[in-house]
Structure 1
């Protein structure tokens, strides 16, 4: 009798294990696999209010430092605002998730000037052109996935 009770319990548990296992698998979030490789990111900057100064761009692959800590960026570029087109290309970028930040340093003093509240006096922009209510946009709002040989972004500068 004891043996048949144990067999019954084991059989009952064996029937429940697949259901428990399916629930655990269903709760795991799906993570899209990014293929191996690298590509180029072409960034067009629009909406400049003047042709003075420089544009600084930073490519980030993590939340840490985005959007204002350019020293934490994986790639950086600076171009003159002179001219009618403002394009920067980051070549040979490993596939992955990124966000771009742009600053228009109108007075070419090497920093983003801000008012007493910390709001930028000069133009700023990020990839995806997210609408921000208070403070800078988050990495998640500005992020995109590079998973092909070439992609193009347009960033519209905003002056607050």
Structure 2
């Protein structure tokens, strides 16, 4: 009987621990300086393997209200991530470029390091631990 009670207790504890783990961490991202209310702001959450190379792990579209766009990524596991975002003013679901390769639309990355050329993983990466995060990205 003691063995059965111990087994049921351990199973219940394991269930509670695993249920909490599946909820993951949330990352709330705000862009406070969108230049117009045209279109939306597109966000992508990446790991090192996908940053600027493949589809994001998660993506979101933020509606612009009073020059501010805000989204939340959910169910994030601890690790290193980077975020990029673009003001998709013409709502074509992609970043537009001039003929010379310069972006036509405003963009930003996590950590707000805006150097010349495409964003680098080393500039955008940040650590997700066991607590929810709130980040601000400026264009």
TM-score (norm 1): 0.67
1:100-147 deviation line (CA, Å, top 9, x unaligned): 000101111222111111111101000000030x21220111100000
Which of 136, 140, 151 is equivalent to 2:118? 136
Which residue number corresponds to residue 118 of structure 1? Answer: 101
Partner of 1:49: 35
Task: Flag structure 2 segments of 5+ consecutive residues without an equivalent.
Answer: 1-20
> How far apart, CA to CA, are the structure 2 residues paired with 1:64 and 1:75?
11
2:75 to 92, 99, 102: 92
Answer whether contact 2:50 2:56 (CA < 8 A) is retained.
no
Is 1:153 paired with 2:135? yes
Aligned residues, how many? 116
Conservation of the 8 A alpha-carbon contact between 2:51 and 2:121: no
Q: Structure 1, unaligned stretches of length 5 or more?
A: 1-36
RMSD: 1.5
TM-score of the two chains, using structure 2 as the length reference: 0.77
Give 1 or 2 for the bigger CA radius of gyration: 1
